[in-house]
Amino acid sequence: MTDILEGKRCLVTGASGGLGAALAREFRRAGCRMILTGRHEAKLEILMRQLTGDADVADYLVADLATDEGLDRLIEHIMREHDGLDILVNNAGVFPVGEIGSISMSDLDECLALNLRVPAVLCRAFAPAMIERGWGRIVNIASSSAYAGFAGTAAYCASKHGLLGLSRALDDEMRTHGVRVISVSPGSIKTPMGRNVPGQTYDNFMEPREVAEIVCRVTALDGSVLINEIRLGRMAMG
């Protein structure tokens, strides 16, 4: 796995969150040159130091990707400083909870923008060069909510259903060009966002590290076996 991913330019969005940080550590362990983005600079700086703090192997940009300004700035930064990407991990997301009539327009817009529009725009920006090189990986972190609907989470479920559809369409579009599009749909994870999940026992949630290890392992597959859609469940429910 390390040989395949060694030196590859890898962007992880939402890297200042629990799963994002775990993904960054795992891909860096596999030899990737990391590019991190998130909203919280202090958390990104700590993560950078954990990854070695060497600008040759790790870089970060604080940006609010739910805004056009933040999204454009990230794309421009990556093209200017890194000349594109080899691996794109669309992990950033929000989880608004509430019945549809009680969700504010701003929460609805942010959820659909960050969870669905941002991955689509980043794919649009970086996939053409992957196709031209004949190698690339796009990993979309979806959710068990991409396959089901739960009361009080309509906006989130809608965004993750959309992300799954995006992944399936892009996989069909890019597979023959050497670019693999992988959708990973975990159940509830022990992250700050996971604490907002209603009606479930947080202590039974998955560990971010376990999810990150699986994501990295699947991303490194480079032979005839293709895994393009993964659902991760929990041993203990409730």
Where in the chain are the domains? 2-232
The answer to whether the beta carbons of residues 155 and 108 sit under 8 Å apart is yes
| pLDDT tens track for 64-100 | 999 999 999 999 999 999 999 999 999 999 989 989 9
**Is 156 an active-site residue?**
yes
Q: What is the pLDDT of residue 134?
A: 97
* Residues 6 or more apart whose Cβ sits within 8 Å of residue 29: 216
Q: What is the pLDDT of residue 1?
A: 46
Please state which of the four CATH numbers 1.10.340.30, 2.60.120.10, 3.40.50.720, 3.40.50.300 is assigned to the domain occupying 2-232: 3.40.50.720
Calpha distance 31→153 (Å, rounded): 37
| pLDDT tens track for 106-161 | 999 999 999 999 999 999 999 999 999 999 999 999 999 999 988 899 999 999 99
Catalytic residue of the set 60, 147, 156, 202: 156
Q: What is the pLDDT of residue 238?
A: 56
Q: What is the pLDDT of residue 236?
A: 64
Q: Is the pLDDT of residue 196 over 80?
A: no
Calpha distance 207→109 (Å, rounded): 29
Nearest Cα residue to 232 out of 217, 11, 29: 217
Top-confidence residue, 238 or 13: 13
From 28-42, 61-75, 183-197, the region with the lowest mean pLDDT: 183-197
| pLDDT tens track for 200-237 | 667 778 899 999 999 999 999 999 998 999 999 876 66
